[in-house]
A and B are shown apart, each in its own frame.
Chain A
Amino acid sequence: MIRVERVTKLYGAHAAVRDLDFSIAEGECVGFLGLNGAGKTTTLRILSCLVAPTSGSVKIRDIDAETSPHEIRKLIGFLPDTPPLYEEMRVGEYLKFAGRLRQMSAGAVRDRIPHVARTCGLEDVLDAPISSLSHGYKQRVGIAQAVIHEPALLILDEPIQGLDPVQIVEMRTMIRALRGQHTILLSSHILSEIAQTCDRILMLHEGRIAAQGTESELSGRFGESFQIRLEAAGSAEKVRAALASIEGLDIIEVRESADGCAATLRSVEDVRARLSQAVVGAGIGLLGLRAERSGLESIFLSLSRGHGGGAEPVGLDPVAPEATVKTAPLNFSGQSEETDADAHAFRQPRSSAPPSVAPAPEKEAEARHESDEGDVAGDDAIKH
């Protein structure tokens, strides 16, 4: 359905996205995951024909966005990070207006509104002025306007932004209900949200795709393993020899240290007991042994941290020390993340708080750029 080839968007010298290459099949639900300023919003705006790429090609159902943006607009429903709502209108008439703008007949809109209202939980507020609604309801109205004309492609930019935990659960339920009816692209900087809602994840970092695949694929490729740190009072050579007998253990690095040596190891299961036996059995003093599970969240964190300098193209390095962090829900926004299918998860205390990754100053600038308004190309142009 969507084919994006070598898309780059430059704002002056700064590349909001660079060499994006991906394709999305009809009916897929794909999540764009990345820190603020990673290029998520720019990517979605390019797909929505709000921002033209500097180079590269975007095709949706074989329609070229560069030559026929108007045709593509007929296929999409878009919810920007700030819902585009006319506050003085009532919900029902706003949806009618949105539907009519998308070339629906008056009768078709009239028939469609009850269905959309039911899906989005707006039945009770159809006659209410939008200005009187809570943030959560406004977000629902934003989604309702995006789906009113049954678009082939539904693009949701940070749909859970600013919602409280209960609203997030409701929003997730709503998005799940829309799956199968549309091809859905959504962006978030909250991994658990993407992981629970989408079929496939595209991790963006500094305007590039850092990784993509299903949650299990990504976990299989880069995660769901144990990263083990071992410190021993022996030479690196002796330690290597002692560890060689342990089946399923990857010796990533062994280096000399002041007390002897430190080893970074990896295994698909927890082999600490066998490790300690092997080391002690070889007559080497065991000074420390620590294993940590490496999951999808830590991969994301690794990608984000490991390439923080941003100069190099992203290449995944599964052995990078940063790949090991304690697993915990990752939330870069600092906002409540509740989530686990369902509501109970957010009430549970987290045993290990996620490292809160504050955007670097330059990232903050990008973030400001990206989050600016429901506004689009024009604003970007003014700023740059």
Chain B
Amino acid sequence: MKNIGLILSRELSSYLRTPSGYVIAACLLLVNGLLFNARAVGTGAKYSSEVLQQFLIDAGGTTMIAAVIFSMRMLAEERANGTRTLLFTSPVREAEIVLGKFLAALLFLSVITSLTIYLPALIFIRGKVSIGHIGAGYLGMFLLGAATLSIGMFASALVKNPFLAVLLAAVFVTTFELAWWVGQITDPPFKTFVSYVAPYMKHFHPFRRGLVQLSDIVFYATVIGVSLLASVRVLQSQRWQ
């Protein structure tokens, strides 16, 4: 646990000291603001819940993209810079490295995602939505971001080049999402199975409607667990082979 905390705090301070963390945060806030104005609020009259749902759809997407970009900052960058040697020659377990880096990225992503809270708050000026609905949406974004980060962590463990890590993470995530579209044109029982693996199209939408379902939470937890475990295994194979 001590090592996880050490790595987490070092990573977090790194996000705050390098431009990349701020650039990602600024881009996320800017794009979310623009999308809120253009798509969620729009020009015509809408119910408040429709505005909120549209915002959550957009914010969920941008959160995923930000999480994919964080992939480069995780293991691939350490490897490219040679700093991984410090971790690998220290008495630190691979799981501690993965968890420390994952939690730091998740914490940072959660902070910058939560900074968008002012956008749904604007709905209260001329309308009314349930706080629970907003909470469910942000819980969905948190889980979606965590699942995407874990997939990005796995991609980052596989390659040395940080940009390749981003690309690989994007390919993984896109493949999962495409599965949902494939599922739409597939007959049962494959339809259910194929559609089920899409973190955004299948499992995020209940959250944006204000529904918190255990099945979705279990799905995200499973993706996170499997991806992080796979990352640990990759590190183990690279560390002492």
Instruction: Please determine whether B82 and A73 come into contact, CB atoms closer than 8 angstroms.
Output: no
Instruction: Please determine whether B6 and A84 come into contact, CB atoms closer than 8 angstroms.
Output: no
CB interface residues, B 176-204, toward A, < 8 Å:
none
Contact with A along B1-30 (1 / 0, CB 8 A): 011001000100110011000000000000
Instruction: Please determine whether B79 and A85 come into contact, CB atoms closer than 8 angstroms.
Output: no
Instruction: Please determine whether B84 and A376 come into contact, CB atoms closer than 8 angstroms.
Output: yes
Q: Is A82 an interface residue (CB 8 A)?
A: yes
Which residue in A69, A84, A377, A379 is a CB contact (below 8 Å) of B86? A84
- When chains A and B are docked, how far (Å) is the Cα of A49 from the Cα of B89? 7
CB interface residues, B 71-95, toward A, < 8 Å:
79-93
Instruction: Please determine whether B79 and A101 come into contact, CB atoms closer than 8 angstroms.
Output: no
Which residue in B3, B82, B238, B239 is a CB contact (below 8 Å) of A84? B82
Q: Is B237 an interface residue (CB 8 A)?
A: yes
- When chains A and B are docked, how far (Å) is the Cα of A379 from the Cα of B237? 11
Instruction: Please determine whether B239 and A377 come into contact, CB atoms closer than 8 angstroms.
Output: yes
Instruction: Please determine whether A378 and B239 come into contact, CB atoms closer than 8 angstroms.
Output: yes
- When chains A and B are docked, how far (Å) is the Cα of A335 from the Cα of B85? 26
A80 closest partner in B (C-beta): B85
Residues of A within 8 A of B84 (CB): 84, 374-376
A–B complex contacts, Cβ < 8 Å, 25 sampled: A50-B88, A51-B240, A52-B241, A70-B91, A70-B93, A74-B91, A80-B85, A84-B82, A84-B85, A86-B14, A88-B17, A101-B3, A101-B91, A373-B160, A374-B83, A374-B85, A375-B82, A375-B84, A376-B85, A377-B238, A377-B240, A378-B237, A378-B241, A381-B237, A381-B241
B15 closest partner in A (C-beta): A88
Nearest-neighbour CB distance to chain A for B161, whole angstroms, equals: 11
- When chains A and B are docked, how far (Å) is the Cα of A70 from the Cα of B91? 6
Instruction: Please determine whether A97 and B6 come into contact, CB atoms closer than 8 angstroms.
Output: yes
Contact with B along A362-384 (1 / 0, CB 8 A): 00000000000111111111100
Nearest-neighbour CB distance to chain A for B235, whole angstroms, equals: 8
Instruction: Please determine whether B10 and A97 come into contact, CB atoms closer than 8 angstroms.
Output: yes
Q: Is A100 an interface residue (CB 8 A)?
A: yes
Residues of B within 8 A of A97 (CB): 6, 10
Residues of B within 8 A of A80 (CB): 82, 85
| Candidate in B3, B6, B90, B241 with the most chain A CB atoms within 10 angstroms | B90
Residues of B within 8 A of A (CB): 2-3, 6, 10, 13-14, 17-18, 79-93, 160, 237-241
Residues of B within 8 A of A374 (CB): 81-85
Contact with B along A106-132 (1 / 0, CB 8 A): 000000000000000000000000000
Residues of B within 8 A of A78 (CB): 85, 89
- When chains A and B are docked, how far (Å) is the Cα of A83 from the Cα of B90? 14
Nearest-neighbour CB distance to chain A for B7, whole angstroms, equals: 8
| Candidate in B81, B88, B160 with the most chain A CB atoms within 10 angstroms | B88
Interface residues on chain A, number (Cβ under 8 Å): 39
- When chains A and B are docked, how far (Å) is the Cα of A185 from the Cα of B58? 57
Instruction: Please determine whether B91 and A51 come into contact, CB atoms closer than 8 angstroms.
Output: no
Residues of B within 8 A of A145 (CB): 86
- When chains A and B are docked, how far (Å) is the Cα of A101 from the Cα of B14? 17
Nearest-neighbour CB distance to chain B for A102, whole angstroms, equals: 6
Residues of A within 8 A of B87 (CB): 101
Instruction: Please determine whether A378 and B238 come into contact, CB atoms closer than 8 angstroms.
Output: yes
- When chains A and B are docked, how far (Å) is the Cα of A3 from the Cα of B87? 25
Nearest-neighbour CB distance to chain B for A65, whole angstroms, equals: 9
Instruction: Please determine whether B240 and A379 come into contact, CB atoms closer than 8 angstroms.
Output: no
Nearest-neighbour CB distance to chain A for B94, whole angstroms, equals: 10
Which residue in A77, A84, A103 is a CB contact (below 8 Å) of B83? A84
Instruction: Please determine whether B91 and A375 come into contact, CB atoms closer than 8 angstroms.
Output: no
A77 closest partner in B (C-beta): B89
CB-CB under 8 A for A101 and B86, given A88-B14, A377-B239, A379-B79:
yes
Nearest-neighbour CB distance to chain B for A103, whole angstroms, equals: 6
B83 closest partner in A (C-beta): A84
Instruction: Please determine whether B240 and A49 come into contact, CB atoms closer than 8 angstroms.
Output: yes
Instruction: Please determine whether B160 and A376 come into contact, CB atoms closer than 8 angstroms.
Output: no
Q: Is A76 an interface residue (CB 8 A)?
A: yes
- When chains A and B are docked, how far (Å) is the Cα of A36 from the Cα of B240? 23
- When chains A and B are docked, how far (Å) is the Cα of A311 from the Cα of B81? 36
- When chains A and B are docked, how far (Å) is the Cα of A344 from the Cα of B13? 45
- When chains A and B are docked, how far (Å) is the Cα of A259 from the Cα of B54? 100
Instruction: Please determine whether B92 and A101 come into contact, CB atoms closer than 8 angstroms.
Output: yes
Residues of A within 8 A of B240 (CB): 49-52, 69, 377
Residues of A within 8 A of B81 (CB): 84, 86-87, 374
Instruction: Please determine whether B14 and A50 come into contact, CB atoms closer than 8 angstroms.
Output: no
Nearest-neighbour CB distance to chain B for A348, whole angstroms, equals: 36
- When chains A and B are docked, how far (Å) is the Cα of A54 from the Cα of B91? 22
Q: Is A98 an interface residue (CB 8 A)?
A: yes
Nearest-neighbour CB distance to chain B for A69, whole angstroms, equals: 5
Residues of A within 8 A of B239 (CB): 50, 376-378
Contact with B along A46-77 (1 / 0, CB 8 A): 00111110000000000000000111011011
- When chains A and B are docked, how far (Å) is the Cα of A84 from the Cα of B82? 5
Residues of A within 8 A of B91 (CB): 70-71, 73-74, 101-103
- When chains A and B are docked, how far (Å) is the Cα of A200 from the Cα of B109? 53
Residues of A within 8 A of B82 (CB): 80, 82-84, 373-375
- A88-B17, A379-B79 known; 7 new pairs, CB 8 Å cut-off, are A50-B89, A97-B6, A103-B91, A375-B79, A378-B79, A381-B238, A381-B241
Residues of B within 8 A of A381 (CB): 237-238, 241
Nearest-neighbour CB distance to chain B for A62, whole angstroms, equals: 18
Residues of B within 8 A of A379 (CB): 79, 160
Which residue in B3, B89, B160 is a CB contact (below 8 Å) of A382? B160
